[in-house]
Amino acid sequence: MDFDAFAVAWEAAWNSHDLDRILAHYSADVTFRSAKAMRLVGHGELRGKAALRDYWARALEAQPELSFVVVDVLHGHGMLVITYSNHRDVLAAETLRMDATGWRSRPLPAICLRDVCRMGIHNPASMCESVRMVLILKKEPT
């Protein structure tokens, strides 16, 4: 699996704002956790593509200027961490577990913003798992 190519395609999909392109990176039974989802849809855990589509449609409508730039790509056995910054220069990480096809993924515990973790806001133990994983995974040489 080419993890860097996956991250490039993920970034391009997000920057296109095309929900079908974005959702193509996630499995049908995706479980997604985010503090931002809590604020927008009332709960922080979304299950399935339909719930994710609804959340992301609302988020993109509320932020038409949203864009991402991949900062780094880290990977381990069956998993990938994409660190990226958004249009407001906020650093975030998405941790994904890859399935057998390699191109479908199920996000692990959370999308976790660095400033949220550092400041202890909305900071249950599982919330910052993504950022902690970024710190302990090592990028394999290509």
pLDDT in tens, 13-58: 999 999 999 998 888 888 888 888 888 888 888 888 999 999 999 9
pLDDT > 50? residue 100: yes
Q: How many domains is the chain partitioned into structurally?
A: 1
Total residues belonging to the chain: 142
Contact 96, 79 (CB under 8 A): yes
Domain assignment present for residue 142? The answer is no
Q: How far apart are the first and last CA of the chain?
A: 12
Per-residue pLDDT at 57: 95
Domain for residue 61, yes or no?
A: yes
Q: What is the CATH number of the domain that holds 7?
A: 3.10.450.50
CB-count exposure of residue 5 (10 Å: 0-12, 13-18, 19+)? exposed
Cβ–Cβ under 8 Å, residues 9 and 27: no
Evaluate whether residue 47 is within a structural domain: yes
More confident call, 121 vs 75: 75
Residue 141: inside a domain, yes or no?
no
- Domain range spanning residue 19? 3-136
Taking a C-beta distance cutoff of 8 angstroms, is the pair 130, 95 a contact?
yes
Per-position b or e across 48-68, b if 16+ CB within 10 A of its CB: ebebbbebbeeeeeeeeeeeb
Is this structure's pTM higher than 0.75? no
Mean pLDDT taken over the chain: 75
Which neighbouring-strand residues pair with 45?
Answer: 33
H or E element in which residue 40 lies: helix 35-41
- Distance (Å, rounded) from C-alpha 35 to C-alpha 77? 27
